[in-house]
Structure 1
Amino acid sequence: MDANFWHQKWERGEIGFHQSEANPFLAAHFGQLKLPQGSRVFLPLCGKTRDFAWLLAKGYRVVGAELSELAIQDLFNDLGLEPEISPVGELARYRANSIDIFVGDIFAVSAEYLGPVNAIYDRAALVALPAGIRGPYTSHLMDITGSAPQLLVTYQYDQGLMDGPPFSVSGDEVKQHYGDIYQLKAVESQNLTGGFKGGVAATETAWLLQKANK
């Protein structure tokens, strides 16, 4: 799976992973991170998620990374904002009041480019990546954010019944990637109504990741 896969998805409007409203797990559990207003929240592989609007309305500043420029143009249109666009290394930076988005390969996003991050909200990044990329991604994410606390959303289903994305990520895999650095807590799990494509049964889980005291 390469960049062209995602560019073609957005160009053809094949964005079934996009939700028209803020994610219920975000509304239910983000407050457990106990962030003051004005905190800066990073959304990796963010697409044009409505979660941005929810976070902005709660008084947070938001920063994202996304491969598709079409998605980010749609995002700013949806928010009614006119972005200032500038090059940053191999990336394009879209900026407006309280919002920064880096467009391009997330592995080109450095800690220096990103700036301070108080929390991570990963609803659609880890589950969007094939197994071989998830390890490098999680290591990179911790590196550029200083292992900021995280609200993570995963799916678990029989991967043999459906090709991802979203991919199935088990609790054991979450622990494999993050258990050495974070204390992990599964705060809610729900069976997806109707399942995935073709009725594949799936469970969606919200995780809170807080840096472990060692």
Structure 2
Amino acid sequence: MDTQFWLDRWEHGQTGFHQTRVMPLLQKHWAGLRIPAGSQVLVPLAGKSLDVAWIASQGYKVLAVELSPIAIAQFFDEHKLQLTRQQTPEGTLYEAGAIQYLCGDVMTLKAETLASIQGCYDRAALIALTPELRGRYVERVYHRLPQGCRTLLLTIDYAQDQMQGPPFSVPDEEVQRHFRDRCLVECLETRDILDKEPKFAARGLTRLSTQVYRLTVR
């Protein structure tokens, strides 16, 4: 993972990828995962996403993983949360109520950490990685999640030669290739969104869709 790229984006305030509302597709499909209340939910490459606080508000313990301490500090400051912090072998762990933020690399999470995860929300991780890194990410994270763990995965699909990522295009055939041997893969929804994303149209895209998947570890 090119960690410096993302650290520089936060350092220089180049965070146009941050959304100022909770993702509607998360609100629509989360309950359908049927993750037991009180379970621990992993949010990789979390930034300062409002989705983290929303998932916690639904009765879950959230483990958000983020490289940038700036993003983490902004999250807790903007939500006016009093936090504690401790050093762990995986990085600095910040905690407030049901929310934990680990400042570190999601690909270096220990097996015992992932063994406690019962749900996952991946809106920004898979599509943030280059094709070379996506396979490693799936192997290091998803292949070590416990049986029965359910993920809500959001991807985007466009002609990769029309725009340089991130975010990168991850078409359905790649999702199937990465996950079908380990997970039950269900596509819950596909939406054409180019008309709602003028900044991507301005970058040359002629089509853009988003897909929502439910992944269940077998």
The TM-score, its normalising length taken from structure 1, stands at 0.93
Q: Displacement of 1:146 after TM fit?
A: 2.0
Deviates most, 90-99 or 38-47? 90-99
- Which consecutive unaligned segments of at least 5 residues does structure 2 have? none
Residues 118-175 of structure 1 show CA distances to partners (whole Å, capped at 9, x for unaligned) of 1110000000000000001011112443252110000000111111111000101111
Deviates most, 122-131 or 30-39? 30-39
Match of 1:42 in 2: 42
1: CA distance, partners of 2:159 / 2:16: 19
Match of 2:203 in 1: 198
Q: What is the aligned-residue RMSD (CA, Å)?
A: 1.6
Identical aligned residues as a percent: 36
1: CA distance, partners of 2:153 / 2:215: 8
Q: Displacement of 1:198 after TM fit?
A: 2.2
Q: Which amino acid aligns with 1:173?
A: E
The TM-score, its normalising length taken from structure 2, stands at 0.91
The answer on whether the counterparts of 2:115 and 2:146 sit within 8 Å (CA) in structure 1 is no
Deviates most, 196-205 or 151-160? 196-205
Match of 2:3 in 1: 3
Q: Which amino acid aligns with 1:203?
A: S
- Which consecutive unaligned segments of at least 5 residues does structure 1 have? none
Q: Which amino acid aligns with 1:76?
A: F
User: Alignment partner of 2:203: what SS?
Assistant: helix
- CA 162–11 in structure 1, closer or farther in 2 if over 3 Å, else same: same
1:211 to 201, 209, 217: 217
Q: Report whether the alignment pairs 1:155 with 2:156.
A: yes
User: Alignment partner of 1:120: what SS?
Assistant: strand
Deviates most, 101-110 or 2-11? 101-110
Q: Displacement of 1:115 after TM fit?
A: 5.7
2: CA distance, partners of 1:95 / 1:80: 13
Moved beyond 4 Å, runs of 4+: none
